[in-house]
């Protein structure tokens, strides 16, 4: 690998560590659950299996090619690497964040989609679909997630958690935070009464308003 590519991969490794710590500090991940990845060209830097995200060091993060073969690093890539790679193949994403955050998991374990009760849901593409359950790390789960995330920046995974994508790690991470906030608002709203779901017309009006500056 040439020096320039190496430097760019090192930068992504540092980013994974930084956002891994932030995810842990915000309570979005606990222990070794959750994983992050970032793509550069035909290579993907991914968090390793079995290392807590708040203790991650740049050298812990393996580099894989788009088929999942390890091209650099000593540690085993996260067990959810097939899902990350499928997302890179199916979307233009440059970063993927997967967590088992509490409110996202509550919604993912009880519903088939997160209805848009707040207009900020549009930042993720609208209602967030829940991908049907499949065993973690399997191609079936990856397929389900690809179908659920179509036209969106986020998907929930039944009885499992959440996944978001972005043009870079910051964008994917902010999508994870927003998704968790939307899920929390929805769950808390359910505890108070019947949440009002925004209509298509109301959502279209928000988009028009945003586009008109």
Distance in angstroms (rounded) separating the CA atoms of residues 163 and 95: 11
> Is 80 a known active-site residue?
yes
Catalytic residue, from 80, 170, 174, 208: name it.
Answer: 80
- Helix, strand, or coil (residue 37): strand
Q: How far is CA 96 from CA 34, 78, 113, 198, in A?
A: 11, 12, 20, 28
Q: Measuring CA to CA, which residue among 98, 119, 86 is closest to residue 208?
A: 119
Is residue 158 within 8 Å of residue 179, measured between CB atoms?
Answer: no
DSSP secondary structure letters along 93-118? -SEEEEE--HHHHHHHTT-SEE---S
DSSP secondary structure letters along 162-183? EEEEESSHHHHHHHHHHHHHHH
Distance in angstroms (rounded) separating the CA atoms of residues 18 and 23: 9
Q: Which residues contact 193 (CB under 8 A, 6 or more apart)?
A: none
Any idea which residue has 């299996």 for tokens? 49
For the annotated catalytic residues, the residue numbers are: 80
């Amino acid at each position: 690998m040439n020096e320039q590519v190496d430097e760019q991969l090192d930068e992504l490794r540092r980013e994974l560590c930084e956002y891994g710590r932030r995810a842990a500090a915000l309570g979005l991940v606990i222990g070794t659950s959750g994983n992050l990845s970032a793509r550069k060209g035909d290579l993907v830097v991914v968090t390793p299996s079995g290392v807590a995200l708040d203790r991650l060091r740049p050298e812990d993060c393996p580099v894989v090619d788009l088929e999942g073969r390890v091209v650099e690093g000593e540690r085993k890539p996260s067990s959810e690497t097939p899902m990350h790679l499928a997302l890179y193949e199916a979307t233009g994403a440059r970063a993927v964040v997967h967590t088992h955050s509490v409110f996202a998991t509550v919604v993912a374990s009880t519903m088939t989609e997160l209805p848009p009760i707040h207009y900020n849901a549009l930042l993720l593409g609208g209602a967030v679909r829940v991908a049907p359950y499949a065993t973690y790390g399997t191609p079936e789960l990856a397929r389900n997630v690809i179908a659920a995330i179509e036209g969106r920046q986020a998907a929930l995974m039944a009885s499992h958690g959440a996944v978001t994508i972005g043009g870079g790690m910051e964008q994917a991470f902010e999508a994870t935070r927003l998704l968790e906030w939307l899920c929390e608002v929805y769950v808390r709203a359910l505890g108070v009464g019947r949440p009002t779901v925004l209509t298509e017309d109301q959502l279209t009006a928000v988009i028009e308003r945003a586009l008109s500056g």
